[in-house]
Structure formats: structure tokens, C-alpha cells
Chain A
Amino acid sequence: MHLDWTALGQVAAASTGVTVAVVVVFALGVLGLAQLEGARDRQGRTFALGLTQAVLCFLACAAVVAYGIFLIVPQFH
């Protein structure tokens, strides 16, 4: 019997890595949002920083989702 341990290891490593990365980046985006909502001044530094952080993080997550859809749909490959 042939068990492909390499493939199994790849699945384990890749999926753990992707999960942790996506959740951490998304959490940072949520932090940015929380900063936005907490900022008293709409022109202030906190607001601008929070906005940038949230936008960048959510864009990164959207890119991963797009790649996921790309993987699901064979017509794209």
C-alpha cells in the first residue's frame, strides 16, 4: 500500500498556514475598524491609521478569497 505522506504533510502545512494568516490579517483589519469607530476626530491620525490598516487587511483577505474561488472553479485554470 502506498500512502503519500508528502501530500498529507503538504495539506496539513498549507491549510494551517493559510488559516492562521487569514485570521490574523482579518483580526488586524477588525482592529483597524475598532480604532476607526473609537476615534473622536475624523481628521485625526488615529482615524487615518485605522482606515489604512482596515482597508489593507480586508483587501488582502479579499485576495485570498478570490484565490480560493479560483481554486474551486476548474474553468479558471
Chain B
Amino acid sequence: MDHITFLVAVVIVTALAFDFTNGFHDTANAMATSIATGALAPRTAVLISGVLNVVGAFLSTEVAKTISGGIVDDTLVSPGMIFAGLVGAILWNLLTWLVGLPSSSSHALFGGLIGAVWVGAGSHGVNFEKVVEKVLVPAVASPVVAGVAALLATYLAYRLTDRARKESVTKGFRIGQIASASLVSLAHGTNDAQKTMGVITLTLISAGALGHDAGPPLWVIASAGIAIGLGTYLGGWRIIRTMGKGLTEIQSPQGFAAETASTAVILTSAHLGFALSTTQVASGSILGAGLGRRLAEVRWGVAGRMAVAWLITLPAAALVGGLAASVVQSGGDLGTAVVALVGAALAAGIVVVSRRNPVHAHNVNDAHEVTIRTEPPAKVGTAA
């Protein structure tokens, strides 16, 4: 184990921390609509999702291989750059969670890595063609496809069940939602846990602890699966609220249509090797399902803010990643420690700010907005 230096150990811990934020950031993708329609109780939903994420992580290591070999040049990447990239991704994930925006964890990770490699090794370390082909094109195409599919399906579902008893229809689709949401969670586990496995494997390869074409060792698969599962179980309630309540008022036929569309897009594209963002697919589906029900209200302001968050996720994470990389590069182990401490302090700060107006399992469906400021006190004198 003489290859595992201080830096490599820090990178592995940071990667698992990112995986954890990935988990709670993305619980909403599978479960937001099920929670909003009452198909699943909030706590049950996150438990199912967490378990299926862990199961999914063990099932497939297909994507783990493509992340480490393509977007950035493996041979130029140092553990320091990976660390810097991860810090960028984690901070961006936490910031978007604070304001309840479902941005893509995958884009945050890619952005952080691209920024760090660019600063650390120069622009030739980044394979821009691959970035466009593997990241940007699917990012634009997948939510549109999912949205159109969910729109059509929702419209037809309402047309077909128009005359039937409303209670029977609602109940039937609620039960269907449990199956469709579980499938999204499983697919998510096979996709996203693998990104962290890919990153840890990339680190071990760059430190010389693994051969160049090695797959992830068992302990990497296990720890990545558990980290994402725990994160999912904790539940990113702020984002669940935005996706389940904020975009549109979801009914159970819409929830079923949206989740089916998400599963279909994720599975078909994973089959063809596109690394897409579950978050963007799920948001596209929910939007489509909102439009598919006649007279359903879509809050375009929320949709617009989400679209902006998508656009800036990659560059913002790249910026933080690049900044962290320059500190790590000039400061060595000391620089790494400084970046780790500053990163941890910022993360803690964000969590403290979120406490001012917490969203949790009990109040997630009560409102459709996520605010940061404290509500005005109901009674004078009780404000802290």
C-alpha cells in the first residue's frame, strides 16, 4: 500500500463526500413526483431509493470505465487535480441544494475536473471534442426527448381515463408509480455511483496503485455504493420540493408518465453509452408531464431558473476546480490541506444557512418554494 500517499487518501475521502452529495442531490430525480402525489410516504421513498442505489452500484461498472478514459487525458491527470475538481463539484452541489435547484451532479463533476486539469496541465489535457460529444449534446437532447415523451404519454393517459372514476384512476397510477420510481432509482445507482468509482479508480491509476486499464476494486465499489445510498437516504428535501411541487402540481398519472419517460431515456441512452444527467432527464419529464395535462399550470419562472442553473453548472464548477487546482499546485500538501479546510468551512457554512429555513420529510409537500431567509415570525418575540 506504499502508493497510497496523504494526497491519495484525501482524494478518496473527498470523492466519497462528493458521492454523498450526489446521492442527496439526486433523490428528487426518482422520488420527487412519488412523494408529491402521495404514492409513497417521504421516509419510505428515500429508504427505497437509497437501498436501490446501493444495489445499482454493485450491478454495473460500465460507465466507470468511460469516465476515467475520455473527457480528460488520463496520463496528464494528477491526484491533486482530481482533488481540486471534486472540491469544485461538491461546493457547487451544496450551493444549488441550498437554493433548491436540481442542477446536474454529473456536470458539476465534469466541470470541476475540466477546470482543474485545464489549470494543472494546460488546455491540451482536456478533450473538448469528447466534452461536446459525451456531455453537451446529451445534455441538450435528453431533457427534450424525455419531456416530449412524458407530454405525449400524459396527454394520452388523461384522454383514456377521462370517463373512469377518478379515485380508481388515482389509486391505480399511484401503485404504478412505486414501480416506475424504483426503476429510476436502480438506473441512477448504476449510473451515478459509477462516476465516483471512476474518479477513485482514476486516482489510483494516476498514483500507480492500479494498472492503466484496471477496473474498480471491490472496496471502491462498496464504499461508493454506500456513500451514494446514505446520501440518498438523507434526502435532498429542498430539491425534492422544487421538483415535486415547484415546477407544476403533479397528479399520479403525470407522475407515472414522467417516471416512465425518465426510465426509458436513461436506459436507452445508457445502452448506447451516453453519460447523461439523470437530473436533467427527470426535470424534462416533469415539465412535459405538466404540459400534457390540459390546464395544468407550469411555473415557467422555476423552469427558467433551472435552465440557467444547468447552463452555469459546468463553468461554475470548473472555475472553483481551477482555483483549487492552482492552490494545490503551488502549495503542495500544505495547499491541499488549505483547500480541504476552506472547502469544509464553506460546506459547513452552507449547511448552517440552510438550517434557517429547513425543508425535511414533514414539510416537503407544504409549499412549492424553497427560501433561504427566515419567515417573518408569527408572534413577536419568538424570533431567534
Complex alpha-carbon distance, A64 and B153, angstroms: 16
Q: Does A11 contact B (CB under 8 A)?
A: yes
| Complex Cα–Cα for A32 and B176 (A) | 14
* Pairwise interchain contact B257-A19, C-beta atoms closer than 8 A: yes
B268–A20 touching, CB < 8 Å: no
Cβ–Cβ < 8 Å partners of A2 in chain B: 133
Residues of A within 8 A of B263 (CB): 68
**Chain A hits for B253, CB < 8 A:** 27
Contact with B along A2-19 (1 / 0, CB 8 A): 110001101110111011
A-side interface size class:
35 or more
Give Cα A27–Cα B187 distance, bound, in whole angstroms: 24
Please give the number of chain B residues whose Cβ is less than 8 angstroms from any Cβ of chain A in the complex. Answer: 49
Q: Quick check: is B59 within 8 A (CB to CB) of the other chain?
A: yes
A27 to B169 Cα, complex, angstroms? 8
Query: What is the 8 Å Cβ interface bit string for chain B, positions 262-288, against chain A (1 contact, 0 not)?
Result: 011101111110100000000000000
A27 & B264 in contact (Cβ 8 Å cutoff) = no
Segment at the interface with A among B30-38, B160-168, B213-221:
B160-168
Asked if A24 meets B153 with Cβ closer than 8 Å, knowing A12-B141, A68-B183, the reply is yes
Q: Once the chains are docked, how many angstroms separate the CA of A4 from the CA of B226?
A: 35
| Cα distance, A18 to B153, chains bound together (Å) | 10
Cβ of A7 to closest chain B Cβ, rounded Å: 5
Bound Cα distance A42, B323 (Å): 71
The yes or no answer to B150 lying at the interface (CB within 8 A) is yes
CB distance from A66 to the nearest CB of B (A): 11
**A39 → chain B closest CB, angstroms:** 11
Q: Is the CB of A71 within 8 A of B59?
A: no
Taking the nearest CB of chain B, how far is it from the CB of A23, in angstroms?
Answer: 4
Contact B59 A19 (CB under 8 A): no
Contact of B161 among A16, A18, A27, A37 (CB under 8 A): A27
Q: In the bound complex, how far is the Cα of B264 from the Cα of A22, in angstroms?
A: 10
Contacts of A29 in B (CB 8 A): 172
Q: How far is the CA of A76 from the CA of B307 in the complex (A)?
A: 37
A33 touches B129 (CB 8 A): no
Determine if B157 is an interface residue (Cβ-Cβ < 8 Å): yes
**Listed A/B pairs (16) with beta-carbon separation below 8 Å:** A1-B133, A14-B268, A19-B149, A20-B153, A22-B153, A23-B154, A29-B172, A31-B160, A34-B164, A34-B165, A65-B179, A65-B183, A68-B183, A69-B183, A71-B270, A72-B190
Q: Which 9 A-B pairs have the closest CB atoms?
A: A30-B172, A23-B153, A34-B168, A34-B164, A15-B264, A19-B149, A16-B149, A27-B160, A19-B261
Q: Which residues of A come within 8 Å of B, CB atoms?
A: 1-3, 7-8, 10-12, 14-16, 18-20, 22-24, 26-31, 33-35, 37-38, 61, 65, 68-69, 71-75
